[in-house]
Structure 1
């Protein structure tokens, strides 16, 4: 049986990419797609939205029906929407793959509660390269003491609404984990004016926005007399779509729980 995969936010740029990727993946079929009420694309064939042949399914505003009809639903929407969708995943016991960033504590709590009744994969970035980078950052932070300052710089397109990016915060959490501390206790997310000397052990963030940049992340470990820099550059959203579909396939048959991309990729 083919894996039936649905998409919420299917009329957006990422949603259309997800639809096309599902259709191009052997063993997978598009189960449906939704958008918010009032979206001008409602009623359009999902294949047309994806730039492929018609698939005989139209864009609707009924996520409950989508979760009922899907083995897994891909979600790159907004924090509040993803939390609502997680509750629908729990209701139907079907997999939910969340690539939404900017989640706050209440949304995370809702998703964690839903994961007790459905397999949920939550990842700030679904590319193989970024997940390898996360592992390397954790290992490097563990090996280098606080004489090494850690700074994370990210750049995205002008339309991105949250900052720092979910991937940048994920890199910060990886570095903090390597050092055995909580990111909240050491994060320095902005600097402006007379800030004083850099506090030892802090993990700094800088955010750039402009143009059509898909995603760039760089982590710098800086000490007296030397510096280590590692990073990742995404040139196409297709890498995130492929990772999301891979996660949807992987989640089939998995027990309820909150999973990460490192589980999907076996890292």
Structure 2
């Protein structure tokens, strides 16, 4: 069996450690943890996985360009310059960036898009995370909103009505709302509520173990190798 060499950038972070913990489930993959930013193992990789910090993403992009291999990244907190770097790399190599690598959540996004296109009801997305998470709303929640918005061809991506509500305001029919809860040790819960007159449909995904994201990232890394250049979504790589 041929072994796939994977360079792991951001190996000392929470997700980097989780990937190393589950690596034994992927016998065909050899994970080479980069000890520090800018280090280069002697073995050439087939793919690079990046779970670092925004500044570290640029190093990962440079390494993928130098090695001529795909990049899979879950680094968060990105700004326009980071997205531009990913877009530029995607003209040379396959690139996948995802806020959430859960296989179940990827399926939930597809289901949310399907329901969003079929039902013109009010849609509320509620996400819950541990007390230490700094950003809100979560990137995963925004990706769910984008799935519904795209299915409906709506211009406005989201409205944080729960944080900015005022007395006397009424929501517009079919509009999208989003709310964030923080507390405890919750890994990540996301619910999509489609609210009609006299009925409602709810989709819920709950993450109980951070290792599901690590496994998803390794699955994505396996499947992106050999694909044409371009930017990819997780569901495209998994099921496209």
TM-score (norm 2): 0.90
Q: Show CA shifts across 1:176-196 (max 9, x none).
A: 0110123xx241025335262
- Spell out the pairing of 1:133-148 with structure 2 (5 A cutoff): 133-145=108-120, 148=121
Aligned-partner SS, 2:95: strand
CA contact (8 A) 1:94 1:118 kept: yes
Match of 1:19 in 2: 20
Alignment of 1:198-217 (within 5 A): 198-217=171-190
Out of 119, 125, 134, the residue aligned to residue 94 of structure 2 is: 119
2:166 is aligned, of 194, 206, 227, to 194
1:68 is displaced (CA, Å) by 7.6
The answer to whether the 8 Å contact 2:160/2:178 transfers is yes
Count of residue pairs brought into register by the alignment: 237
Name the counterpart of 1:42.
none
Cα pair 1:21 1:245 within 8 Å, conserved = no
Change (3 A) 1:85 1:61: closer
Change (3 A) 1:66 1:203: farther
Alignment correspondent of 2:30: 29
CA deviations 1:139-158 (Å, max 9, x no partner) are 1111112xx11110001112
For residue 171 of structure 1, what is the aligned residue in structure 2?
144
Q: Which 5+ residue runs of structure 1 have no aligned equivalent?
A: 34-58
**Aligned counterparts of 1:62 and 1:82: Cα–Cα separation in 2:** 11
2:219 is the counterpart of 1:246? yes
In the other structure, the counterpart of 1:61 is: 37
Task: Verify the 8 A CA contact 2:38 2:59 in the aligned structure 1.
Answer: no
Report the aligned-residue RMSD: 2.0
Tell me the alpha carbon deviations over residues 99-133 of structure 1, each in whole angstroms, 9 at most, x when there is no partner: 22343333222211111111111222211111111
Distance in 2 between the 1:84 and 1:189 partners?
Answer: 34
The structure showing larger relative contact order (alpha-carbon pairs under 8 Å, at least 6 residues apart) is 2
For normalisation by structure 1, the TM-score amounts to: 0.82
Is the 1:87–1:110 Cα contact (8 Å) retained in structure 2?
no
Structure 2 CA distance for partners of 1:67 and 1:100, relative to 1, 3 Å: farther
